[in-house]
Amino acid sequence: MDMLGDLESLQFEYGIQEEDRSWLYLQGRSRGLMIKACAHATFFCKLLCNLRESFHEKQTSSCPLTGLLTGIPDDDELKVGIIGGGHLGKQLARVLLQLVPIPAENLRISTRRPEALDEFQKLGIQCFYHNPYLVDWANVLFLCCLPSQLPNICLEIQTRLEKGCIVYSFVAAVPVARLKLLLNHTNILRPQYQCVENFVNIWGANKDITAALQDPMILQATCPYSPAGGIILNIKWLEGVLYAVLNICTARDMPHLQVLQLLNELLLSVHFEDCDKDGASCPKFQLHDFVSQIYSKNLSQRRPFPWFDLTAVQLKETPFGQHLSASTALQDHLTYRYCDSFGISLPQGQQPGVSTRL
């Protein structure tokens, strides 16, 4: 039992003057941003892990002897690199390790002070200061550095980035169009968060981020369509996530019909209690949800999807964005799948996004 935990004199607010207490809401906002950022990164990595497991299952089912003998190829493993070992980088690493979960050997951190990451090195995570080496290895790269550090980092790594490597940026001050120029790369995701005034602080103060994301109320507040806690995610992030999955499938030269089937299995196979037993009335992804009608008519069945510029997806209107904004059923099913990936199932009437659409 923590006998000192409730002592008022040990609380953060105790030493703050009365005239400065009006700024305390910034503490809750900062914590909320951290929790949402880590939650969305975790969902993205969970989705990629499930995608790779599906690849492996299909490979072993079509060629069982080969699958049993060779196991999962190294290229099919999710290998996550984090540039930046500050507060955000460390919180993200803890969450990915525990909630995805990513094996320690599949997570590496490059930071100017690797000696400060002793807790991670004891877990078997490689921590060093060599950004190009990290980029050569990773297929998902999280940027958790300061804006002032970003230009030099981009200069170091831009020639080492493979086309399929997904760069996921938490550097809020640098827009995605600028990142594209700095990195000479288009496979970039950058979540954008909008903060509103007069919000109810639901983010807690004493739980670490991993524990917070196991609290059903806090987790529901991180749902893509939820405005709870005063922080709203720009839904273009969700579009970018879906098109990033399409790019991974295109890199494997997978026919688009198989890709659509895979997406439906990954994202739309979890249903509400009042859905039809066979899910026949539930939404299903179609080719024209992701590409124009003209392009879809000219795409043969064996052809993969085209390669998508993720920066353009997040900056411009897309077929999937139009479909998503018009279909509340799709929004609700994706929200339900999001919560289910964290082990929380919600009745349809309690979906965070039902009453407030972005």
**Residue-level length of the chain:** 358
| Residue 75, pLDDT score | 59
Which of residues 305 and 205 earns the better pLDDT score?
A: 305
Confidence class for position 226, pLDDT limits 50, 70, 90: confident
Confidence class for position 345, pLDDT limits 50, 70, 90: confident
- What range defines the domain where residue 116 resides? 25-59+74-234
Confidence class for position 282, pLDDT limits 50, 70, 90: confident
Helix segments in the chain, DSSP class H? 25-62, 64-70, 87-99, 118-121, 131-137, 150-157, 176-183, 209-212, 216-221, 236-251, 256-267, 293-297, 310-315, 319-326, 328-341
* Residue 305: pLDDT over 80: yes
pLDDT tens-place string over residues 53-70: 999 887 776 655 444 433
Residue 192 forms part of a structural domain:
yes
For residues 223 and 353, is the Cβ–Cβ distance under 8 A? yes
* Residue 233: pLDDT over 90: yes
Is residue 130 domain-shared with residue 263, that is, in the same domain? no
pLDDT tens-place string over residues 132-172: 999 999 999 999 999 999 999 999 999 999 999 999 999 98
* Residue 12: pLDDT over 70: no
Is residue 215 domain-shared with residue 78, that is, in the same domain? yes
Is residue 220 domain-shared with residue 278, that is, in the same domain? no
Confidence class for position 17, pLDDT limits 50, 70, 90: very low
Instruction: Choose one of 181, 204, 234: the last residue of a domain.
Output: 234
Is residue 116 domain-shared with residue 173, that is, in the same domain? yes
| Residue 204, pLDDT score | 74
pLDDT tens-place string over residues 165-196: 999 999 989 999 999 999 999 999 999 999 88
Is residue 185 domain-shared with residue 281, that is, in the same domain? no
Residue 3 forms part of a structural domain:
no
Residue 78 forms part of a structural domain:
yes
Is residue 91 domain-shared with residue 130, that is, in the same domain? yes
Out of 79-93, 203-217, 243-257, which region has the weakest mean confidence (pLDDT)? 203-217
For residues 86 and 329, is the Cβ–Cβ distance under 8 A? no
Is residue 42 domain-shared with residue 139, that is, in the same domain? yes
Is residue 125 domain-shared with residue 228, that is, in the same domain? yes
* Residue 227: pLDDT over 90: no
Is residue 248 domain-shared with residue 227, that is, in the same domain? no
In the chain, the percentage of residues whose pLDDT exceeds 70 is 80
Residue 185 forms part of a structural domain:
yes
pLDDT tens-place string over residues 91-141: 999 999 999 999 999 999 999 999 999 999 999 999 999 999 999 999 999
Is residue 132 domain-shared with residue 195, that is, in the same domain? yes
Instruction: Choose one of 209, 234, 259: the last residue of a domain.
Output: 234
pLDDT tens-place string over residues 200-217: 778 877 678 898 898 898
Which of 36, 357, 20 lies closest to 195, judged by CA? 36
| Residue 203, pLDDT score | 84
- The number of folded domains in the chain is 2
Residue 4 forms part of a structural domain:
no
Question: pTM score, two decimals?
Answer: 0.87
Instruction: Choose one of 212, 234, 256: the last residue of a domain.
Output: 234
Is residue 78 domain-shared with residue 99, that is, in the same domain? yes
3-state secondary structure of 127: strand
DSSP result, 161-212: --TTPEEEE--TTS-HHHHHHHHT---EE---EEE-SS----S-SSS-HHHH
Confidence class for position 6, pLDDT limits 50, 70, 90: low
For residues 304 and 254, is the Cβ–Cβ distance under 8 A? yes
Residue 249 forms part of a structural domain:
yes
Q: Looking at residue 148, which CATH number applies to its domain?
A: 3.40.50.720
